[in-house]
Amino acid sequence: MRLEVKLALIGAISKLVIFLILFTLVQQTIDSLALEHTDRDLTKKKDKALSIIKKIGIRTYLDAEQDSVFASYNILKDEYITITLDPDGKPEELAFSQEARIIEGEEFDFRILNYNFLIGHQQYSLEIGKNIQMIYSLDRTLKKISISIILIVLVITILFDLGTYKYLLHPLNQMIIPKLKTVDNPESFDYTEIDSSTSDFVYLNTTINELMHKVNEILKNQRKFIGDVSHELFTPISVMQSKLDNLLVSGKLPAKTVGMIVDQQKQLIRLQHIIKALLLISRIENDQYSKNDKVDLHELVEEIVANIEERAHITNITLENRISKDTSLSNVNKYLIYILLFNLVSNAIKYNKAGGSVLVYDEQKESNLLVVVEDNGIGIAPENLDLIFNRFKRMETTKEEGQGLGLSIVSSIADFHDATIEVKSHPGEGSKFIICFPFNQTV
């Protein structure tokens, strides 16, 4: 979930809680105010009734037949008054209650005032009731209105908050995050400063830039170191090799010594291969190659097939160049593209089975060109697929000769040309190395 949505939701939840607390408080206050008001009204009516009774006497109100009861209610049945004889009641006691009363067969909720008073030696009970149905329905209407207002205000605040957070987080979403998406290559990292009035974002951006500068510097130094060391080692190894050659040519050595020298030479050749590979990777990574060539891919693969065919024949492996005749790559380095495809074809032969086959073909994918090297050899275990491009990484199951640098070179050359590599493989069934060249190299 995006940060602005999270912030807006948290804001909405906290507002909802505050609204609900306020709503409950307001509701309770309205209820108690309405009751207070009704009680005051009932008390006034009681005082008025008592003063009339004092003036004109109680007998006027008593029922002629029953001689004890007076009852009156208004036409809308929202108020009534009764006076009854009540010898057991406590005199002068004022009480309020809420009860239902049936008037002419209809039940109503009333707020009731009860008051006992003495006239002569008789004690009477005065009851005045006020219909509170009105208060209930007003209460319900108020509740409905309040909930609607709360919901509308809530939706408006969520939308407002979303807009505000989006605006405030704009530098993060539109400037810093897109930069971080290209963080895998410090060389092409976007080091521009961001234009924001939020100092935290400016600080974050500056810190990321500084960090990337440091990472870039470290990687540069590492590449330079590998290049320098490889270069320094190359000369003494070549000197040692020619000295060993001279010793062999002299022909005066015993057979045992000749065997030892040949072994040493093999080790030196292996070392030379490693140093050459490291030097090549270092030069590619230090951008020491141009990308101005146009390459006829079919022809290039033909060249590779011609150079490697002999090796394939030894294990009876068929090599097939199915690259279309008109397929070409532009803005590339021909020498490096040759090495890339040569290494892939060489591996496809090396890690194949006797009688297997290797196919090289091209495919168009949207505007990109795919070059595929496919074999039906030993395949690669899924857990090793991510490791094979690491330097000096060789699978434990691999018995063939090698230094574990062939695919590192392939990966550096692909990066250099902004191409991507995908590997599909099943152990025992074979492997497919798919190089995807971008649009600008296929026109």
Q: Which residues bind ligand ADP (CB under 6 A)?
A: 347-348, 351, 375, 377-380, 388, 393-395, 398, 402-408, 431
Among residues 55 and 399, whose Cβ is nearest to ligand ADP?
Answer: 399
Among residues 8 and 378, whose Cβ is nearest to ligand ADP?
Answer: 378
Is 431:384 a contact under the CB 8 Å cutoff?
no
Q: How far is the CB of 348 from ligand ADP (least distance, A)?
A: 5
Phi, psi of 57 (to 5 degrees): 90, 155
Is 233:240 a contact under the CB 8 Å cutoff?
no
Q: How far is the CB of 420 from ligand ADP (least distance, A)?
A: 17
Q: CA 60 to CA 55: how far, in whole Å?
A: 11
Q: CA 164 to CA 272: how far, in whole Å?
A: 63
Among residues 178 and 427, whose Cβ is nearest to ligand ADP?
Answer: 427
Among residues 142 and 274, whose Cβ is nearest to ligand ADP?
Answer: 274
Is 337:413 a contact under the CB 8 Å cutoff?
yes
Number of helices (H) and strands (E) in the chain: give both, helices first.
9, 12
Is 388:423 a contact under the CB 8 Å cutoff?
yes
Among residues 208 and 395, whose Cβ is nearest to ligand ADP?
Answer: 395
Q: How far is CA 392 from CA 278, 347, 409, in A?
A: 11, 15, 11
Q: How far is the CB of 360 from ligand ADP (least distance, A)?
A: 12
- Residues paired with 123 in a beta bridge: 118
Strands 318-322 and 420-426: unpaired
Q: How far is the CB of 282 from ligand ADP (least distance, A)?
A: 16
User: Which tokens hold the place of 297?
Assistant: 């891919």
Q: How far is the CB of 357 from ligand ADP (least distance, A)?
A: 12
Among residues 169 and 414, whose Cβ is nearest to ligand ADP?
Answer: 414
Q: How far is the CB of 406 from ligand ADP (least distance, A)?
A: 3
Q: How far is CA 199 from CA 196, 203, 204, in A?
A: 7, 6, 9
Q: Is 57 left (phi over 0), alpha (psi -120 to 50) or beta?
A: left
Q: How far is the CB of 343 from ligand ADP (least distance, A)?
A: 6
Is 206:192 a contact under the CB 8 Å cutoff?
no
Q: CA 300 to CA 344: how far, in whole Å?
A: 13
For residues 302, 308, 310, 313, the Cα torsion angle rounded to the nearest 10 degrees is -80
Q: CA 129 to CA 125: how far, in whole Å?
A: 13
Among residues 304 and 407, whose Cβ is nearest to ligand ADP?
Answer: 407
Q: How far is the CB of 173 from ligand ADP (least distance, A)?
A: 40
Q: How far is the CB of 429 from ligand ADP (least distance, A)?
A: 10
- With CB atoms as reference, the residue minimizing the distance to ligand ADP is 402
Q: CA 151 to CA 190: how far, in whole Å?
A: 45
Among residues 179 and 432, whose Cβ is nearest to ligand ADP?
Answer: 432
DSSP state at residue 65: T
Q: How far is the CB of 377 from ligand ADP (least distance, A)?
A: 5
* Residue 34: closest CA among 128, 130, 100: 130
Among residues 83 and 378, whose Cβ is nearest to ligand ADP?
Answer: 378
Crossing angle between the packed helical segments 3-56 and 133-168, to the nearest 10 degrees: 160
Q: How far is the CB of 292 from ligand ADP (least distance, A)?
A: 28
User: Which tokens hold the place of 299?
Assistant: 């022809």
Among residues 402 and 438, whose Cβ is nearest to ligand ADP?
Answer: 402
Among residues 229 and 395, whose Cβ is nearest to ligand ADP?
Answer: 395
Give the distance, in angstroms, between the CA of residue 1 and the centroid of all CA atoms in the same chain: 6
